[in-house]
Amino acid sequence: MVNKHQYHHMKKEEALKEIEAKSGILFDSEIVEIFVQMMKDNQPSPSEE
């Protein structure tokens, strides 16, 4: 979702919101919760600074 080679490039926060929106529908809700928390705990990527 954040790769420039995808159809629609989005920022990290937009991608996380999209993943959360699909939680329990497209993605396992327990995995989404853990993944999103891990991503939010990470430092921003250089392209986002």
Indicate the domain borders of the chain: 1-43
Confidence at residue 3, expressed as pLDDT on a 0 to 100 scale: 60
Confidence at residue 9, expressed as pLDDT on a 0 to 100 scale: 75
- List, for residues 12-46, the tens digit of each pLDDT value: 889 999 999 999 999 999 999 999 999 988 866 55
Confidence at residue 45, expressed as pLDDT on a 0 to 100 scale: 56
pLDDT band for position 5 (cuts 50, 70, 90): low
Per-residue 3-state assignment (H helix, E strand, C coil) for the chain:
CCCCCCCCCCCHHHHHHHHHHCECCCECHHHHHHHHHHHHHCCCCHHHC
- Side chain identity at 39, as an amino acid letter? M
